[in-house]
Amino acid sequence: MVRALHLFRRVNTMITSGRITINRRSSAINADFVQQALFLAQQLKSSEKYIASILHSVMTENPNIGPVGCMEATVVEFHQRRRYLVDCLRYIFEAAELAELPDAPRLYKRLEAFARQELVPAASGPGGEMSLALRIFKELENLGNTVARAQQAKQCAMSNTVAPSGQYHP
């Protein structure tokens, strides 16, 4: 717990200091970037550094995008990356399941061994660290809450559209 708190303070300090290192490259960041990264990290319940890296990527790929569009694109990218991760895990587990067949390729057997050793170990590892499998299952349990928060945010969101005036006649 103390280690996690120290890491949080260090990452938060790095972001609020006006510089951040992403992909081993140091970049200067402004106050708006810091505010957006911290807000999104809090809303998405993810690390500030990870969200800052996604936000930076979105800004780099879309230099003319506005702040709201940038934040929306960051949220979409965050969830897309999560989806890719889940797809990768699904492929690994499907291959592991196929490894039980008598004529299964060696790669499937190696993936099955990897899945058993790395992805589905005991509930906690050395030092009480939560295993990847347990963290994934906890995320799945929290998915209902996440979807509910997203629906609530969508219902409470302001619209950028302007209602048509009553003077339009087809």
Tokens of 132: 């990847």
Contact 20, 52 (CB under 8 A): yes
Report field, pTM of the whole predicted structure over 0.85:
no
Domain of 93, in residue numbers: 13-101
pLDDT of residue 40: 93
Highest mean pLDDT among 21-35, 77-91, 143-157: 77-91
State the Cα–Cα distance between residues 121 and 123, nearest whole angstrom.
6
Which amino acid is located at 129 in the chain? E
User: Residue 112: inside a domain, yes or no?
Assistant: no
Query: Is 110 within a domain?
Result: no
Q: Is the pLDDT score of 3 beyond 50? A: no
- Which residue has better confidence, 158 or 134? 134
Given pLDDT bands bounded at 50, 70 and 90, which one contains residue 25?
confident
Please state the rounded mean pLDDT for residues 81-94: 90
Question: If you count them, how many residues does the chain have?
Answer: 170
* pLDDT score at 117: 85
Spatial contact of 131 and 125, defined as CB atoms under 8 Å apart: yes
Our count of domains for the chain comes to: 1
Say what percent of the chain tops pLDDT 70: 75
pLDDT at 19: 76
Evaluate whether residue 139 is within a structural domain.
Answer: no
In a domain, 120, yes or no: no
How far is residue 134 CA from its own chain's centroid? 17
Domain-located, residue 149: no
pLDDT, mean of residues 7-25: 63
pLDDT at 66: 92
> How confident is the model at residue 16, as a pLDDT?
66
Rounded CA separation 109/98 (Å): 8
Where b means 16+ CB within 10 Å and e means fewer, 149-158 reads eeeeeeeeee
Does residue 46 form part of some domain? yes
**What tens digit of pLDDT does each residue of 30-57 get?**
888 889 999 999 988 888 889 999 999 9
How far is residue 115's CA from residue 117's CA, in Å, rounded to a whole number? 6
Considering only CA atoms, give the Rg of the chain: 21
Grouping H, G, I as helix, E, B as strand and the rest as coil, residue 19 is: strand
Domain-embedded: residue 163: no
- 22, β-bridge pairs: 25
Does a structural domain hold residue 24?
yes
CA distance 99 to 88: 17
Nearest one of 24, 21, 56, 23 to 37, comparing CA atoms: 56
Average pLDDT over residues 137-163: 70
pLDDT value at position 97? 93
